[in-house]
Structure 1
Amino acid sequence: MLQNFFILCSGADSEILKTCSKGEQNKYAGIGATVFFTAVMAFIASSYALYTVFDTMYTAIFFGLLWGLLIFNLDRFIVSTIKKRDSFKHELLQASPRIVLAVIIAVVISKPLEMKIFEKEINQVLLEQKNELTLANKDQIAQQYTPAVEKLNQDIANLKDEIATKEAETNALYDTYIAEAEGTAGTKLLGKGPVYKEKREKHDAALAELQTLKIANTEKIAGIESQIDALNIEYADTVKNTQPIIDGFDGLMARINALGELPWFPSFYIFLLFLAIETSPIIAKLLAPKGEYDIKIEEEESILAAWTTQKVSQRKLIISTDNDMNQHIFEDLKTEQELYDYKKKKAEELLRLQADKFHDIQVKNL
């Protein structure tokens, strides 16, 4: 029963193959088994690839099954349409489009399995790429907030400089009236005279202005710092909201690109393996000598071609004979006087009827 199933997979005519030897039957059963297991590998590979796209097992299995059946049908068609002939060049030319198709199928089948086999290495590459994307994303978002934050920091620095300048002026006035009191500067009179009081009043006024300025600028600095905190919070929220997009950067295209970052030889080796599996039925048929099944198939085709040619020739002879007979019959009818008189009588009746109808129409239009 298993042999019959594999023969069915090979696309061979089971009725003709039953009349062949056991060895011939085993050969086509082996070809059918290769076709079947290639379709199974295609089903597994495509299911995994689609799972990375849909993240749903049942959807991936469903479409993977469709893809496996498609590959099975293509392989079965490829193998069954290669006919053994006496010329190897003719057979190779006949098989060349199918070999190209087999190469394409091998690429499609092998790529998802390569991604599964090298999954850990691919994950490492994706992790590095995600880290790079995260840093680049933070830098890109920061470019939107950095100018505003820098401007606010500059405003804070200006307010602090204003306080420092005013404080330096106040300290200078303090030194001035102290020196006046000590007699080391100004009038150089020891004691607290009128000049001392005047300088002391200037210092006290400047000190009051300094205190007022400190209070006002401190409030302004607090307000600016709250704006900076709000911008920092907004920046952090933007980074947080965009991070899931980067975390989800592990789809099919990303994994294929990550696979391309790995050394090429292991992937190429797996591709060659599947290429060998995919083309093995075709190569086997090309290299195998013409067997009993091929001879019987060729005989069946020859019988069908001869029968079709014979039928076409018979139809052409029937048409030619019938035309000749009709020509002779009508030639003989030309000399029949009775048929001539009957034809003439009917023509006269038709002309009379036409003349009467024309007359009635003309009278009606008057």
Structure 2
Amino acid sequence: MLQRFFIFCSGADTAILEDCSPGERTKYAGIGATVFFTAVMAAIAGSYALYTVFDNLFTAIFFGMVWGLLIFNLDRFIVSTIKKRKNFLDEMIQASPRILLAIIIAIVISKPLEMKIFEKEINQVLLEEKNDMTLANKDQLALQYTPSIEALNAEIDALKTEVTDKEAEVNALYETYIAEAEGRKGTELIGKGPVYKEKREKHNAELAALQQLRTTNTEKIAALESQIATMSSEYQTKVAETQPVIDGFDGLMARVNALGKLPWLPSFFIFLLFLAIETAPIIAKLLSPKGAYDLKLEEQESALKSWVTQQQAQRDVLVTTDRDINNRVYADIAEEQELYDYKRKKARELMQLQADAFYKKQKSAL
């Protein structure tokens, strides 16, 4: 039962194989088993690849099975259409397009399995790329806010500098009227005279102005800091909104690109493995000697070709004979006087009718 199934997978004619030796049936069962298990591997690879796209197990399995059946049908067609020839070079020319197709199928099958085998390494590459993308995204978003925030910070520094300068000026006035009272500067008279009172009043006036400036600038600084906080909040919000896009950067194309950044040698050997599996049935048929199945199939096709050629020749003879008979029949009829007189009479009547019709038409026109 299992052998019959694998023979069906090989695409061989079961009716012909029934009359062949057990060894011949075993050979084609082995070819069919290779075709079947290649399709199974294709279904697994397709399911995994589609799972990275749809992120749904049942959808991935369904389309993976469809993909496996497609590969099965292609492989079965490729193997079944390769026939043994008298010349090995003719066999290679016949098989070359099928080998090229087998290489393409091997690449398509091997890539998803490579991504699964090297999943941890691919995840590490994707993590590094996501980190780089996160930093680049933050820098790009910061360009929208950095100039405005720096301008606001410059305004805050200017307001603080204004207060500091005013404090230095008030402190200098304080030192002036204290030195006047102690007799160290100014009039150099100890005591609180008129000059001392004048300088102290000036200091007190500037001190009041300083207090007013502090109050005004503090309010301005608070407003500017509020704007900076708002911009910082907007920046963080945009970073949080765009981060899920970066976190979701692990689709099929991203994983294929990440696989391409890994060392090529392990992936190349996996590809060679699947290429060997995919081309094994074709190579087996090319290298194996012409067996009983090939001889009987060739005999069956040759008999059919001979029958078709014979039928075509008979149809050609039939057409030629029928044409000769028709020529002779019409030649004999052409010599009969009765047929000539009858046709002459009808032609005369037809010409009379045409003349009458032309006369009536011309008369009506006049």
The interval holding the TM-score normalised by the smaller chain is over 0.9
Identify the residue that residue 322 of structure 1 maps to in structure 2: 322
Identify the residue that residue 170 of structure 1 maps to in structure 2: 170
Tell me how far apart the structure 1 counterparts of residues 291 and 227 of structure 2 sit (CA, whole Å): 88
Identify the residue that residue 199 of structure 1 maps to in structure 2: 199
- Which 10-residue stretch deviates more, 229-238 or 333-342? 333-342
The answer to whether 1:208 aligns with 2:184 is no
Structure-to-structure mapping, 1:96-111, within 5 angstroms:
96-111=96-111
Matched letter for residue 134 of structure 1: T
User: What is the deviation of 1:362?
Assistant: 3.6
Q: Deviations over 1:249-284 (max 9, x none)?
A: 100011111111222111111111110100000000
User: What is the deviation of 1:286?
Assistant: 0.2
Tell me how far apart the structure 2 counterparts of residues 354 and 9 of structure 1 sit (CA, whole Å): 76
Identify the residue that residue 182 of structure 1 maps to in structure 2: 182
Q: Deviations over 1:22-46 (max 9, x none)?
A: 1111111111111111111111101
The answer to whether 1:89 aligns with 2:106 is no
User: What is the deviation of 1:178?
Assistant: 0.8
Identify the residue that residue 61 of structure 2 maps to in structure 1: 61
Identify the residue that residue 227 of structure 1 maps to in structure 2: 227
Matched letter for residue 180 of structure 2: E
Tell me how far apart the structure 1 counterparts of residues 180 and 349 of structure 2 sit (CA, whole Å): 157
Matched letter for residue 177 of structure 1: Y
Tell me how far apart the structure 1 counterparts of residues 81 and 15 of structure 2 sit (CA, whole Å): 17
Structure-to-structure mapping, 1:238-277, within 5 angstroms:
238-277=238-277
Secondary structure, aligned partner of 1:214: helix
User: What is the deviation of 1:150?
Assistant: 1.1
Matched letter for residue 294 of structure 1: D
- Which 10-residue stretch deviates more, 221-230 or 283-292? 221-230
Structure-to-structure mapping, 1:95-134, within 5 angstroms:
95-134=95-134
The answer to whether 1:38 aligns with 2:51 is no
Normalized against structure 2, the TM-score is what?
0.97
User: What is the deviation of 1:242?
Assistant: 0.6
User: What is the deviation of 1:364?
Assistant: 4.2
The answer to whether 1:237 aligns with 2:232 is no
For this pair of structures, how many residues does the alignment match? 366
Tell me how far apart the structure 2 counterparts of residues 111 and 88 of structure 1 sit (CA, whole Å): 33
User: What is the deviation of 1:357?
Assistant: 2.9
Q: CA RMSD in A?
A: 1.2
Tell me how far apart the structure 1 counterparts of residues 342 and 8 of structure 2 sit (CA, whole Å): 70
The answer to whether 1:52 aligns with 2:27 is no
Identify the residue that residue 309 of structure 2 maps to in structure 1: 309
Tell me how far apart the structure 1 counterparts of residues 355 and 180 of structure 2 sit (CA, whole Å): 152
Secondary structure, aligned partner of 2:290: coil
Q: Deviations over 1:224-246 (max 9, x none)?
A: 11111111111111111111001
User: What is the deviation of 1:352?
Assistant: 2.3
Identify the residue that residue 141 of structure 1 maps to in structure 2: 141
User: What is the deviation of 1:349?
Assistant: 2.0
Secondary structure, aligned partner of 1:12: coil
- Which 10-residue stretch deviates more, 122-131 or 75-84? 122-131
User: What is the deviation of 1:182?
Assistant: 0.9
Tell me how far apart the structure 2 counterparts of residues 358 and 11 of structure 1 sit (CA, whole Å): 75
Tell me how far apart the structure 1 counterparts of residues 22 and 342 of structure 2 sit (CA, whole Å): 78
User: What is the deviation of 1:363?
Assistant: 4.2
Instruction: List gaps (5 residues or longer) in structure 2.
Output: none
Matched letter for residue 28 of structure 2: Y
User: What is the deviation of 1:173?
Assistant: 0.6
Q: Deviations over 1:56-108 (max 9, x none)?
A: 12221222122111111110111011110110010011101100110000000
Matched letter for residue 66 of structure 1: V
Q: Deviations over 1:180-209 (max 9, x none)?
A: 111111111111111111111110101000
Tell me how far apart the structure 1 counterparts of residues 5 and 270 of structure 2 sit (CA, whole Å): 28
Tell me how far apart the structure 2 counterparts of residues 205 and 223 of structure 1 sit (CA, whole Å): 27
Secondary structure, aligned partner of 1:184: coil
